[in-house]
Structure 1
Amino acid sequence: MNIPFASFVPMHEEIRQGLDAAFKKVVDKSYFIQGEECEKFEEEYAAYCGTKYCVGVATGLDAIYLILKALDIKAGDEVIVPSNTYIATALAVSFTGAKPVFVEPVIDTYNIDVTRIEEKITEKTKAIIAVHLQGRAADMDAINAIAKKHELYVLEDAAQAHGARYKGQRVGALSDAAAWSFYPGKNLGALGDGGCITTNNKQIADKVRALGNYGSDYKYHHIYQGTNSRLDEMQAAFLRVKLPHLDKWNEARRRIAEAYLSGITNPLINLPLATSEEYEHIYHVFVIRCDRRDELEKYLKDNGIGTVKHYPVPMHLQKAYEELHIQEGELPIAEEISKTVLSIPMYYGMTEEEVEYVIDKINKFEV
């Protein structure tokens, strides 16, 4: 049996008629930037997240960057970032001229360890970025309490958490503003690049919209030195087709996760935490840990099972961030995670037979 790490086929076949109609509608209108589809998607996604405002942008990276710019984060400032996340979170900080300051995660949740944040706060710190990694929310109550104490902004990097909840409330409405990616592999993915920000702060929403449109608040009137970062009509139209199905797709992922959690019993494997009332996980990826990760990866590949390593080199050891002069061993939890994690198949449309095959092969892995 061959099982890919991910497949869009079951999802897209189910909504093919809607996607085709959306494509035709946009082409027939011949209006491709900042039109009705984007405006309606912004309204619908804001309502879904429980926020007043949503602003479409070009990518998830741009979403973080534009929020930081809207908050006037600049050179000389510092921003708290989890040491275990995709590099885009840190790059957005760097693009403003500010310095990303890495804080270690809790290894069982992969999210930022709130007990370690305050020791990294200095007079230069301006914001904390809470990443909801893998689809599990960060501990937002604790993060917001720390931010309030030190008068800091809080951003959510929700790029992997479409539909996740924290204590009953959807992520994306738990901070000053949240950044989203609609990269095709996300739980809510476009058919190309895309992103947005959500917020309850009109000033942030208006400034992000202007900054992403060449700094313009209306045509040929430029109030900021902005950039070009807009969610195009075609991707917005596709996202509108997908959004009503998101909760159903997430629930299917949870069922797969439940099967993995109950079925994988190999003592060599560390499993992720299950969804709960406080942390309603949407399993963007299902990540296991194994001290013999590379051997496990090869074994699963030999048995037709696709996997991905998220992420094999932590940010502080990437050449891109050698300027921070963080040596190997200084962030041991992020390093441990990078050496041991392996993401196994998790996508809407996996059959029970496929899930059981993955479970069986993992349970038979030995060293």
Structure 2
Amino acid sequence: MKIDFANLTYQYQLYKDEIDEAIQKVLNHGKYIMGPEVGELEEKLCEFTNAKNAVTCSSGTDALLLAMMALDLKPGDEVITTPFTFIATAETIALLGAKPVFVDIDEQTYNINTSKIEEKITNKTKGIISVSLYGQPSDLDEINEFSKRCNLFHIIDGAQSFGATYKGKAEVHYCDIYTTSFFPAKPLGCYGDGGAVLANSDELAQKIRMLRVHGQNKRYHHKYIGLGARLDTIQAAVLLVKLKYYKKDLALRQEVAKKYSKKLKNVKNIILPFVKEDRTSAWAQYSIRALNRDELQEKLKESGIPTVVHYPMPLHMQKCFNYLGYKKGDFPVAEKVSEEIMSLPMNPYLSNDEIDYITQKVAEFAK
């Protein structure tokens, strides 16, 4: 059996006629930059999340940059975040001349350990970026307690979590700004790069709209130093079609995750994902931990089962962050998890036969 990790081709075939028609409509009207589909998508994203404002942009990375620029992050400021995430979370802090300050992760959820945040707050701390890793929100109430008491901004990096909930509501309602990614392999993905910034503040949203078009408040009049960070109209058209079916796809992801967990719960030598009861995950990944990860990955590959490691090296150990002065052992939980974590195929279209085959092989090879 040959398993597809994300099954993007199958999803395209499901919605092919609608997607082709949507793309053709853009080709016909020729408004490739900031065409009508972009504004329509932003309205639909607001409807989906009950956010007041959604501003699409060119990637999840640019979404983070726009968010921090809107919140006036300056060189020398400090931003607290997790070392166990994709590099964009901390890279964007550094690009703006600020300093990423890492906090170790919780060993169950792999998100930032909120009990360790307060000790890292200094008079230079400007904000906190929490990451909803693999699709699950962090402990947002606890983070907001620190941010409000210390007058810090809170950005949620939701590159993997669009559609997740915390206490019954979308994450945008628990932060200053929520960012997400529409990279093709994300739960809601386009056919290239794309992202969005969501905010309930009209003032912040208006600034972000200007920042994404080089700080313009009207054509060729620039209020801010900004970016060229617009979402292509064709990508917006694709997302409009896929967003129509996204609640169904999220429910299917939940079912796949439940089936995995049920079939793997008695397998020794692996640790299953854990989602807290007061929140839901978008299940961008289904990630297990195994002591013999490398061997397990190789044997699964030989059996036609692709796996991915998200992420093999924590950010504090990356060469580009040597200047921060961290060393191995500074964040032991993140380091331990990075050596054991691996993601199994996850998409809404995995069949029962495929799930049976994957879980049988994991049980056979885990040790």
TM-score range for the pair, normalised by the shorter chain length: over 0.9
Q: How does 1:42-191 map to 2 (within 5 A)?
A: 42-191=42-191
2:268 corresponding residue in structure 1 = 267
1:343 corresponding residue in structure 2 = 343
Q: Classify the secondary structure of the residue corresponding to 2:217.
A: strand
Q: Classify the secondary structure of the residue corresponding to 2:246.
A: helix
Given that residues 317 and 328 in structure 1 are in contact (C-alpha distance below 8 angstroms), is that contact kept between their aligned partners in structure 2? yes
Greater mean alpha carbon deviation, residues 166-175 or residues 184-193: 166-175
Greater mean alpha carbon deviation, residues 68-77 or residues 166-175: 166-175
C-alpha distance after superposition, 1:261-303 (max 9, x if no partner): 1111221110001463x11112100000011111111111111
**C-alpha spacing 1:274/1:127, structure 2 compared with 1 (3 Å):** closer
Given that residues 10 and 348 in structure 1 are in contact (C-alpha distance below 8 angstroms), is that contact kept between their aligned partners in structure 2? no
> What amino acid sits opposite 1:54 in the alignment?
A
1:358 corresponding residue in structure 2 = 358
Question: How many aligned residue pairs are there?
Answer: 366
Structure 1 residue 366 displacement after superposition: 4.5
2: CA distance, partners of 1:197 / 1:224: 18
C-alpha distance after superposition, 1:234-263 (max 9, x if no partner): 101111101111111111111111111111
Given that residues 270 and 366 in structure 2 are in contact (C-alpha distance below 8 angstroms), is that contact kept between their aligned partners in structure 1? no
1: CA distance, partners of 2:129 / 2:188: 21
C-alpha distance after superposition, 1:109-138 (max 9, x if no partner): 011111010011000001101111101111
TM-score normalised by length of structure 2: 0.98
Given that residues 111 and 131 in structure 1 are in contact (C-alpha distance below 8 angstroms), is that contact kept between their aligned partners in structure 2? yes
Q: How does 1:307-326 map to 2 (within 5 A)?
A: 307-326=307-326
2: CA distance, partners of 1:301 / 1:244: 34
2: CA distance, partners of 1:351 / 1:49: 29
Given that residues 292 and 366 in structure 2 are in contact (C-alpha distance below 8 angstroms), is that contact kept between their aligned partners in structure 1? no
Q: How does 1:284-303 map to 2 (within 5 A)?
A: 284-303=284-303
1: CA distance, partners of 2:30 / 2:334: 47
2: CA distance, partners of 1:188 / 1:139: 23
> What amino acid sits opposite 1:79 in the alignment?
V
2: CA distance, partners of 1:282 / 1:227: 29
Q: Classify the secondary structure of the residue corresponding to 2:252.
A: helix
1: CA distance, partners of 2:174 / 2:193: 25
C-alpha distance after superposition, 1:288-343 (max 9, x if no partner): 00111111111111111100011111111111111111111111111111100000
Q: Classify the secondary structure of the residue corresponding to 1:289.
A: strand
> What amino acid sits opposite 1:310 in the alignment?
H
Greater mean alpha carbon deviation, residues 6-15 or residues 53-62: 6-15
- Identical-residue share of aligned pairs (%): 39
1: CA distance, partners of 2:244 / 2:170: 15
1: CA distance, partners of 2:230 / 2:366: 49
2: CA distance, partners of 1:130 / 1:49: 19
1:234 corresponding residue in structure 2 = 234
2: CA distance, partners of 1:357 / 1:238: 32
> What amino acid sits opposite 1:14 in the alignment?
L
> What amino acid sits opposite 1:266 in the alignment?
V
Unaligned 5+ residue runs, structure 1? Answer: none
Unaligned 5+ residue runs, structure 2? Answer: none
Structure 1 residue 56 displacement after superposition: 1.0
**C-alpha spacing 1:366/1:196, structure 2 compared with 1 (3 Å):** closer
TM-score normalised by length of structure 1: 0.98
> What amino acid sits opposite 1:225 in the alignment?
I
1: CA distance, partners of 2:4 / 2:233: 31
> What amino acid sits opposite 2:206 in the alignment?
D
Given that residues 53 and 201 in structure 2 are in contact (C-alpha distance below 8 angstroms), is that contact kept between their aligned partners in structure 1? yes
2: CA distance, partners of 1:338 / 1:322: 18
> What amino acid sits opposite 1:301 in the alignment?
K
